[in-house]
Amino acid sequence: MISLFRLFSFFLLIGSANATDDLLPPEKAFQAYMVQIDDHTLEVRFKVAPGYYLYRDRISFKANPQLTPDFPIGAEKNDPSFGKVHVYKYDTAVRLKSTAPVPLDMAISAKFQGCAEVGVCYPPQTQQLKIGDEPKDALEQLFGKNNTPVAIGPSGADVFFSGGFLTTLGIFFLAGLGLALTSCMYPLIPIVSGIVLGNGQQGKMRALGLTFTYVQGLALSYTLIGIAAAATGTLLVVTLQQPFVIAIFSMFFVFMALAMFGLFDLQLSGGIQSKMNQWANLLPGGQFTSVFAMGALSALIVGPCIVPPLAAALAYLGQTGDLLLGGSALYMLALGLGLPLLAIGVFGGSVLPKLSGKFMQGIRIVFGVLLLVMAVWVARPLWEKTSETTGPQFAAISSVAELDRSIANANGQIVVLDFYADWCIACKEFERDTLSDPEIQATLSKMVLLRADVTQNNPADQALLKRFKLFGPPAILFTGNQGQFLNERVIGYQDPAAFKATLNRVKKEAQ
């Protein structure tokens, strides 16, 4: 029985090894087509081969006129570098909405990236799509004759009613209400009293309507800010991977925390505030249009006071990349900030709570502490890198010519050629879990270590990958004592035990 089990295990290992050598080229692993749904809607359909997956947040589109994508949720995957991410493991479709009619000759540029389940990540792919270019047989095979796409999960509109979404909105509303308890809202009170109510007497219902309109103008400004932050989410995530940017962001939050602690004040200069008041006096009070406009302008008045917590909120929203969440969250923040103004507009300043200076200072301290926590959270990757066990040091090579020279200068030592990229999750897992093993490090210390960083996926990177018939990292190749490349190679992720066995086979084959 034990012999049968070992034989079965052997065949499983052989099958697994063959699978890593039989990776599909990217154009076969991921196929994209575009169809027109109606005059204002396009649909990009992705065919994902079994054993492969696409990253939802690595899919983007460029088109003229501008199109708004509606991404399915996808399956959740735990990413060691970026936390929880969503991937598409099966065929999926992304709806693209246009405010203008879509021309029949519409063409878009689709950019996407995916990986194989064995641990190999493909470089980002860019494909030009046109309406009607999809092969009919491929389309029917992918979606059936009724052209109904495979459902992955609820769309962005469905997320609107999910518990996590509503919880986030509630938190932002409470944060806005907390900011209203500080002195940030005080510059708005004269505006509410003068512009909103006007010179004449207003009934309470009309006063409520005018004040609500004013708050909506204020909220609109913050909604647009939230959408802008979410729209640049991918750029923010990539930028925050750079150590110097991480340090700058962390120090920025510390600086803002000190402002909340009262070490200095962030406010508009007296000249700008005077100019704002002049604009306010030019707007006729008691009219809905002018009240809404002044509400939007008031974001500039209150803005400097709430910059510290607002910056933290924008950093969070930027990393979500969710336009709906970004706009809705900042809208709720503005509603929380404007809630006391509604009471003031209806009942006057007498309804203001008689808050002591100590209480208001306490609110500021709470926000200051939260900003310090944000600074620590942003800086976390810096000390994680320094606290990790120092791995083997690889010499960088960036071209085929450099590789050949390095192998020629190896003096009979085994050469280890590691293909790596910053966007390769399995590469980071390999470095963190496998290359940090002391026994593996001791073995590698007797070899020449080279690394081809193909993050940029430029022509030189592509030439290196093409030479060894690789589609992407991670991959580790070995040379023998005479400089010849061995049959033994690593494609995808290997845990420490498997990689130790690989190194033992390499040493035997290299002799």
Query: Which pLDDT tens digit goes with each residue over 294-347?
Result: 777 666 555 545 555 565 666 666 555 566 777 788 888 888 877 877 777 666
Lowest-confidence segment of 86-95, 214-223, 281-290 by average pLDDT: 281-290
Mean model confidence pLDDT for the chain: 73
pLDDT band (50, 70, 90) for residue 381: low
- Per residue in 265-275, pLDDT (tens digit) is 655 455 555 55
Say whether pLDDT at 450 is over 90.
Answer: yes
Instruction: Identify any residues that bridge with 418 across adjacent strands, giving them in sequence order.
Output: 451, 476
- Per residue in 349-375, pLDDT (tens digit) is 555 555 445 655 676 677 678 768 767
Predicted pLDDT at 16? 39
Q: Is the peptide bond before 135 cis (omega within 30 degrees of 0)?
A: no
Predicted pLDDT at 281? 53
Say whether pLDDT at 277 is over 60.
Answer: no
Q: Which of helix, strand or coil describes residue 113?
A: coil
Predicted pLDDT at 264? 65
Q: Please give the Cα distance from 398 to 396 (Å, whole number).
A: 7
pLDDT band (50, 70, 90) for residue 187: low
Handedness of CA 362, 366, 367, 371 (dihedral sign): positive
**Does 247 or 313 have the greater pLDDT score?**
247
**Does 307 or 425 have the greater pLDDT score?**
425
Closest residue by Cα to residue 430 from 491, 486, 386, 352: 491
Lowest-confidence segment of 94-108, 162-176, 405-419 by average pLDDT: 162-176
Predicted pLDDT at 505? 94
Q: How far is CA 325 from the centre of its chain?
A: 13
Say whether pLDDT at 17 is over 60.
Answer: no
Across 202-206, average pLDDT: 69
**Does 82 or 431 have the greater pLDDT score?**
431
Beta-carbon count within 10 A of 92 CB: 24
Across 180-187, average pLDDT: 62
Q: Is the peptide bond before 65 cis (omega within 30 degrees of 0)?
A: yes
Q: Which of helix, strand or coil describes residue 83?
A: strand
HEC secondary structure over 430-477: HHHHHCCCHHHHHHHCCCEEEEEECCCCCHHHHHHHHHCCCCCCCEEE
pTM for the full model?
A: 0.46
Lowest-confidence segment of 209-213, 269-273, 379-383, 475-479 by average pLDDT: 269-273
Q: Please give the Cα distance from 142 to 280 (Å, whole number).
A: 59
- Helix ranges, 61-151 (H): 136-143
Lowest-confidence segment of 61-75, 303-317, 400-414 by average pLDDT: 303-317
**Both tokens assigned to 197:** 């109510």
pLDDT > 90 fraction of the chain, expressed in percent and rounded: 16
Say whether pLDDT at 422 is over 70.
Answer: yes
Residue 121 is given by DSSP the state B
**Both tokens assigned to 332:** 């709720």
**Does 507 or 224 have the greater pLDDT score?**
507
Say whether pLDDT at 487 is over 80.
Answer: yes
Say whether pLDDT at 155 is over 70.
Answer: no
Q: Are 411 and 379 in contact (CB under 8 A)?
A: no
What domains does the chain contain, in order, with CATH numbers? 27-158 (2.60.40.1250), 160-385 (no CATH), 395-510 (3.40.30.10)
Predicted pLDDT at 11? 34
Residue type for 108, please?
I
CA distances from 25 to 115, 387, 470 (A): 11, 38, 9
**Does 312 or 443 have the greater pLDDT score?**
443
Q: Which residues contact 511 (CB under 8 A, 6 or more apart)?
A: 480, 481
**Does 435 or 317 have the greater pLDDT score?**
435
Predicted pLDDT at 485? 92
Say whether pLDDT at 4 is over 60.
Answer: no
